[in-house]
Amino acid sequence: MKILQISDIHWTKRRRWEEDYPGMKSKFRDDIKEYIEAGNQIDYVFICGDVVFKGIKEEYDKALEYIDDLCGVIGCTRKEVFVVPGNHDLSRDFAAHQQREMMNAALAFEPSNNSFLDNVILKSKELRKTQFDAFKDYNEFAKGLLCHEKVMDKCINGGDDAITDNDELFYHTQLSKKVGDFTVSVRGVNTALNCDAWDWNEKYKDGHSQILPKRAYVLEKEEKQEVRILMGHHPTSFLTSRTKVEEYLNCHYHIQLFGHVHIQNIQGDNYVRVLSGALNPPPDKKEHEKYKPIYNIVELSPLDETHIKVTGESQIWDRNKFIRYDEGCFEKDIEIELNKNKWESPKMTMHDNIDVRGVKFAFLQRGDRVSFFDKIDDVLFTPKPGKPEYDQCLDFLDAVEKAGKLSQLNELMK
């Protein structure tokens, strides 16, 4: 399995000759095209946040055009593309941003950040909408790629619908392709929930940290012989309760992919954590050589019954072309643990080995999709009046998946 990992694209409305690295995005496309023409394949595209710059629809429309073009070069479709939000993917000037900044500071208070989110913000219709509305355009973009979170969508579009413990603050999917006998799952999380002008970084040392809520990364179940990938934007060093978060991630996620820092860094022991360089970093006048565009091709291959090899091929921008970046390349052997304790939570449903995302995308692209609402056994789906048809279809797919009936839907669509 090969994954194209990019981060920090920072799409803007600027014209191509005004960009920081003129011609770089075109060269990147050509580089990938030549990689494919040389007989290689790329199975998935992972974008680790900061897809755009100001978090507005016009930028997302432009980014989606580029993603679709890149998919055409690779020979894949949107169902092989995965995204997570970064600090530039929310519109910080959205309504009530001063109120949101106060809540952001409270969320960064380490002893009680999780309870404040669950028991205060998510329990109030007004507060949760204020907190999440800045992600409104990102949410619509992510829904088109089936990379949206249930909590975010309900906070923005759910009206009076209460947030329940079953509403996910992440997306989690099993990939259709395996690595030998190993299945591979991906969890996308939002580390940018409390981003604002007061974020901690190298320039603002007294700024606040980001929160990655427990309900976003703690697993309910682990599949035997499964490679678990976690995607986020901010590395763990930017997070409140970072030590506890790291301890959990390192024990439960074999591959951790992040962006944000704009400089490539590889970490890990029996896991690999990739802090990816940015595809389109901002120019740094004081340290001109510090930030350069980077992309990675991450390959997963089986070694034996309980081990995989994870190899990273990194490319860096050098004046007018991409060249191999030796410092960013890596190779790690990782042991994939087995579920030895039968008392732990049940296994993830395999959906009869169907391509889950493929079935969902096929359904969403049909002109007669609403006609299936009453055709699935044991699924009593009632459309909610006034809700957009696309969102109704997403709710229907959720109900079908929870009932274990995606295979039936797949057969009915043939």
Residue 348 has pLDDT above 50, yes or no: no
pLDDT at 277 over 70: yes
- Which helix (H) or strand (E) element contains residue 83? strand 81-83
Give the residue among 131, 8, 12, 132 at the shortest CA–CA distance from 60. Answer: 12
Give the CA distances from residue 142 to residues 45, 136, 354, in Å, rounded to whole numbers and listed in that order: 14, 10, 23
Mean pLDDT in residue range 94-105:
87
How far apart are the C-alpha atoms of 335 and 333, rounded to whole Å? Answer: 7
Q: Is the pLDDT of residue 341 over 80?
A: no
Q: Any idea which fold 2-335 has?
A: Purple Acid Phosphatase; chain A, domain 2 (3.60.21)
pLDDT tops 90 at residue 353: no
What pLDDT is stored for residue 349 in this prediction?
47
pLDDT at 219: 93
- DSSP SS3 for 141: helix
Q: Are 107 and 117 in contact (CB under 8 A)?
A: yes
Q: How confident is the model at residue 203 (pLDDT cuts 50, 70, 90)?
A: confident
pLDDT at residue 183, rounded to an integer: 93
pLDDT > 50? residue 25:
yes
From residue 298, alpha-carbon distances to 30, 39, 68, 392 in Å are: 19, 16, 21, 36
Mean pLDDT for 357-385 is 93
Confidence at residue 352, expressed as pLDDT on a 0 to 100 scale? 59
Q: How confident is the model at residue 164 (pLDDT cuts 50, 70, 90)?
A: very high
Contacts 24+ apart (CB under 8 A), 247-255: 248/217, 248/218, 249/217, 252/219, 252/222, 252/228, 253/187, 253/228, 253/229, 254/227, 254/228, 254/229, 254/308, 254/310, 254/334, 254/336, 255/227, 255/228, 255/229, 255/230, 255/298, 255/300, 255/310, 255/334
Residue 178's pLDDT is: 93
pLDDT value, residue 345: 53
Q: Is residue 346's pLDDT more than 70?
A: no
Position 286 pLDDT exceeds 60? no
CA distance 99 to 103: 7
48, 259 Cβ separation under 8 angstroms: yes
Band (pLDDT 50/70/90 cuts) for residue 222 is confident
Nearest Cα neighbor of 351 from 187, 218, 144, 185 is 185
Please state, in angstroms and rounded to a whole number, the distance separating the CA atoms of residues 320 and 44: 26
Instruction: Identify the pLDDT of residue 375.
Output: 94
Q: Measuring CA to CA, which residue among 271, 282, 279 is closest to residue 297?
A: 279
Contacts with 288 (C-beta within 8 Å, 6 or more apart), sequence order: none
Predicted confidence band of residue 284 (pLDDT cuts 50, 70, 90):
low
Whether the pLDDT of residue 307 is over 60: the answer is yes
Integer-rounded Cα radius of gyration of the chain: 21
Residue 127 burial (10 A CB sphere; 0-12, 13-18, 19+): middle
Query: How many alpha carbons fall within 13 Å on the CB side of residue 55?
Result: 22
Instruction: Out of 213-217, 243-247, 344-348, pick the least confident.
Output: 344-348
Asked whether 333 and 383 are in contact (CB, 8 A), the reply is: no
Asked if residue 21 lies in contact with residue 293, where contact means CB atoms within 8 angstroms, the answer is yes
- Map out the domains of the chain as residue ranges: 2-335, 351-412
Of 257, 253, 237, residue with least CA distance to 312: 257
Each residue's pLDDT tens digit, 68-97: 999 999 999 999 999 999 999 999 887 788
Residue 391 has pLDDT above 60, yes or no: yes
Q: In the 8-state DSSP scheme, what is residue 253? A: -
Contacts of 278 (CB under 8 A, 6+ apart): 7, 8, 10, 50, 259, 262, 291, 293, 294
| Mean per-residue pLDDT over the chain, rounded | 91
Share of the chain above pLDDT 70, in %: 94
262 has pLDDT over 70: yes
Q: Please compute the mean of the pLDDT values over residues 196-216 and round it to a whole number.
A: 89
Residue 17: band (very low, low, confident or very high) from pLDDT cuts 50, 70, 90: low
- Give residue-wise pLDDT tens across range 44-65: 999 999 999 999 999 999 999 9
Give the mean model confidence (pLDDT) for residues 309-333.
95
pLDDT of residue 97: 84
**What pLDDT score was predicted for residue 223?**
81
pLDDT for the residue 373 = 94
